[in-house]
Structure 1
Amino acid sequence: MELLIRIAGKDIIVPDTIVNVWVVTVLLIIFALVVNKKIKKASIDEAPSNFLNVIEALVDVVEGLVKDTMGPQNMKFAPYILTIMCFLIVANLFGLLGFSPPTSDYSVTFSLALITFVLTQYWSFKNAGGLLGYLKGFTEPMAFLTPLNVIGELANPISLSFRLFGNIMSGGIIMALLYNALGYIAPLITPPLHAYFDVFSGVLQTFIFIMLSMIFIGGAAE
């Protein structure tokens, strides 16, 4: 549902995908507070609950991915990877509830890719020892490749965002067309397609996004 905001006599329409970004963010904040409260109440003398076991397994999986992909020296990036993974999974699966997935809006996916891009450039700059070293990196291995190196660097956030946006958006369009074409019998036919376009594709695109983010950031952080 779109949100209409009136500021200084002007109407500003906030798309439903952006509203859903706020909803997903609030849900994840509440979830994080609940997890934090349960961890503080947990006793080392008692077996953890099934809920905490699941959370611990999730953290272990993410830390394992970061360690294997980026190296043990880059474990500081694990919280970012876990955060972006949780957001993308919830956002990609939002279509199952009848809402527009936030990641079907390119402004959302580009914003997420831009965070990875900024982290990549920051660590490239930091490890290059300053501006001159950072700029010199674009001239390697040969100076005439500088334009290609610059274009390749700028293309990373675009390709990262378009891959996620394209897959989620196309899945939503296909499902909408099927519902309009099938009418009342759509609920009998579409569940397997929801399993593919919403669940399988959503989880797969989340995995691809975090893997590419780890590769980009890890390469810059070495």
Structure 2
Amino acid sequence: MEMTLTLFGNEIFIPSTIINSWIIVILLSIFAIVVNRKLKKVNAAEKPSGLINVIEMSVEGVQSLVKSTMGDKNLGFVPYIGTLAIYLAVANLFGLLGFKPPTSDYNVPLALALITFFMTQYYGIKSKGLGGYTKSFFEPIPFLAPLNVIGELANPVSLSFRLFGNILSGVIIMGLLYGALGWIAPIVTPALHVYFDLFAGLIQTFIFIMLTMVFVSMAME
């Protein structure tokens, strides 16, 4: 699904990946509102069940992951890491519903990687001060400063290309198989969907949030 808008006499092309990304954002926003209303009605003295139980387990899982990776003092990152994990998981698995995953468009992984990059710089400066953060680029010896700067700038590139490449390759391979197999494709491809969409999508979600936590926590050390 693609759209073309005319604004002040100019045509603006909106690719399907951007539209799908907004669909995911809207659906997750509605889901968050529904969960919030359910949580307000929960009795703290009663054992949670159903959706609330799943939500509590998910939150505890993210808290445990952030705690083990970034330490107790950085549990404030739980909301962001949880939101990032949910969005990436849904976006990567969107192909199972017949839509093109937003993360197969490089703009989306790059935008998320840049958020991680700027978070890294901000919290690095906040924890060390501008002088201390600048000094870290000259360690262990000043001669390595250019390499340290290049390495820092390479982080968002490698982070975005890893996610983009894995998701796009799955989309391309499945598209070629559907084109080559014809009517027998629905018989052969379900097992491949499990690997390219489900398994690879969840693995790439985990890798992205883990690297985000590692980059930010390393900058704050």
The TM-score, its normalising length taken from structure 1, stands at 0.97
Is 1:40 the counterpart of 2:50? The answer is no
The whole-number CA distance in structure 1 between the counterparts of 2:127 and 2:55 is 34
Q: Paired residue for 2:56? A: 56
Is 1:99 the counterpart of 2:84? The answer is no
Q: Paired residue for 1:204? A: 203
The whole-number CA distance in structure 1 between the counterparts of 2:219 and 2:70 is 10
The TM-score, its normalising length taken from structure 2, stands at 0.98
**Residue aligned with 2:44, SS:** coil
The whole-number CA distance in structure 2 between the counterparts of 1:219 and 1:177 is 41
> Shift of residue 134 of structure 1?
2.3
Q: Paired residue for 1:89? A: 89
Over the matched positions of the two proteins, sequence identity in percent amounts to 61
The whole-number CA distance in structure 2 between the counterparts of 1:203 and 1:114 is 21
Unaligned stretches of 5+ residues in structure 1: none
> Shift of residue 3 of structure 1?
1.4
- Contact kept, 8 Å, 2:128 with 2:220, in 1: the verdict is no
- Contact kept, 8 Å, 2:177 with 2:185, in 1: the verdict is yes
> Shift of residue 43 of structure 1?
1.2
> Shift of residue 128 of structure 1?
2.2
- Contact kept, 8 Å, 2:117 with 2:156, in 1: the verdict is yes
The whole-number CA distance in structure 2 between the counterparts of 1:67 and 1:136 is 28
Alignment deviations for residues 142-172 of structure 1 (CA, whole Å, 9 cap, x no partner): 1110110000000111100000000000000
Letter of the 2:89 partner, please give it. I
> Shift of residue 220 of structure 1?
1.6
CA RMSD of aligned residues (A): 0.9
> Shift of residue 46 of structure 1?
2.9
Is 1:192 the counterpart of 2:191? The answer is yes
- Contact kept, 8 Å, 2:88 with 2:205, in 1: the verdict is yes
Q: Paired residue for 2:75? A: 75
Q: Paired residue for 1:151? A: 150
Is 1:177 the counterpart of 2:208? The answer is no
> Shift of residue 129 of structure 1?
1.5
Unaligned stretches of 5+ residues in structure 2: none
Q: Paired residue for 1:128? A: 128
Q: Paired residue for 2:16? A: 16
Letter of the 2:167 partner, please give it. I
Q: Paired residue for 2:160? A: 161
The whole-number CA distance in structure 1 between the counterparts of 2:43 and 2:128 is 46
**Residue aligned with 1:51, SS:** helix
**Residue aligned with 2:137, SS:** helix
> Shift of residue 127 of structure 1?
1.8
Letter of the 2:30 partner, please give it. I
The whole-number CA distance in structure 2 between the counterparts of 1:40 and 1:63 is 21
The whole-number CA distance in structure 1 between the counterparts of 2:29 and 2:219 is 30
How many residues matched? 221
Aligned structure 1 segments of 4 or more residues deviating by more than 6 angstroms: none
> Shift of residue 80 of structure 1?
0.6
The whole-number CA distance in structure 2 between the counterparts of 1:71 and 1:133 is 21
**Residue aligned with 1:5, SS:** strand
